[in-house]
Structure 1
Amino acid sequence: MNAHLFKTTNGLLLPNAFRWFVGQNLVSFEPWHFCSQLDEFAFATQRFQLENSTKRELITILRRHDRDDFAGFEIKDNQICENVIYYHPSFHNTQWNIICGEYKNLFAFVQKVVLPDMEEWASTEDAEEYFND
């Protein structure tokens, strides 16, 4: 099991919804993918910190692999919250409204963003390519 994804190195526990998905190995929803290591998308989290004009903090846990779209849980008062922030960094040294949307929890984000993106991909990509070994 991916229990290493349940807590950060400084002991912060990720929300149960995330642990639920990871525990069931529900981690790839083409074109979105969950992190395989909690620091995998640290570069995007750093860009969020640099470009985010609201000064909010987060831990990035999802990436859309065909573009620079990311999502993460907000961190407040040294706790990881349930809400998911969806963002798109410019990778330029400027502060702007990097946030594309915010969702009450991971299930809402998956329902409103991930599944529609997955459905769009399924309409153009043949599923057989995922079964060729």
Structure 2
Amino acid sequence: MPYPLAYRWFIHKGLTDWEPWYFCDTQASLQQAPDLTRNAFAARAFAKETGADFEVYLFARRQDREDFAFFVVRDGVIEDKVITVHLSFADTLELRSRLSYEHVTRSFSEWVAEVALADALEWMSEDDLQD
């Protein structure tokens, strides 16, 4: 399958809105071959700002700022390796050293626990439970 299992499982179960994060794919889009050009604006900014030696596929965005979560793409294959980055869209390298494939070790499941759920916990309030 072209997408990591855990990602497909979360979308299949409807677990796609982790306020402030939301997933870019839907069940319908997962039935298609991945369109690596769909969010080219973010992928281009990622490449320029990180100098990464790999491509990426945007799968989630944070709604309140320019934070993006990408899967690593290697030889046209979406891997279960996730990188989260704040993009400035400054069109210049933003890191002290270029990001390499070997530095990306977080899986999608780890990203959900360490980033998405942690951010959701910060956003939770009693007001969210009011109808």
Does TM, scored on the shorter chain, surpass 0.5?
yes
Q: Tell me which stretches of 4 or more aligned residues in structure 1 moved more than 2 Å.
A: 36-43, 96-99, 101-104
Residue matched to 1:23: 12
C-alpha contact (below 8 Å) 1:86/1:102 kept by paired residues: no
- Given candidates 46, 64, 67, the residue that maps to 1:66 is 64
Amino acid at match of 2:52: T
1:115 partner letter: L
Q: Kindly indicate whether the alpha-carbon contact (under 8 Å) linking 1:60 and 1:70 is maintained by their aligned counterparts in 2.
A: yes
Map 1:2-81; keep pairs closer than 5 Å: 13-36=2-25, 41-81=39-79
Contact 2:55–2:73 under 8 Å retained in 1 = yes
- Mapped to 1, the partners of 2:68 and 2:9 lie a distance apart of 20
What are the ranges of 5 or more consecutive residues in structure 2 without an aligned counterpart?
Answer: 30-34
Which residue identity does 1:52 align to in structure 2? T
Quote the residue 2:32 is aligned against: none
Worse-superposed segment, 45-54 or 15-24: 45-54
Give the SS at the match of 1:45. helix
Aligned residues: 117
Structure of higher RCO (CA pairs closer than 8 Å, 6+ residues apart): 2
TM-superposed CA distance for 1:96, in Å, is 2.3
Query: CA 1:117/1:35 → structure 2, altered by over 3 Å: closer, same or farther?
Result: same
With over 3 angstroms needed to count, the CA separation of the structure-2 counterparts of 1:63 and 1:103, relative to structure 1, is farther
Q: In the TM superposition, what are the counterparts of 1:121-132 in structure 2 within 5 Å?
A: 121-123=123-125, 126-128=127-129, 131=131
C-alpha displacement of 1:46: 2.1
Q: Aligned residues: percent identity?
A: 36
Taking the aligned partners of 1:41 and 1:68, their CA distance within structure 2 comes to 14
2:22 is matched by which residue type in structure 1? H
CA-based RMSD: 2.4
Letter in 1 for 2:127: D
TM-score when normalising by structure 2: 0.77
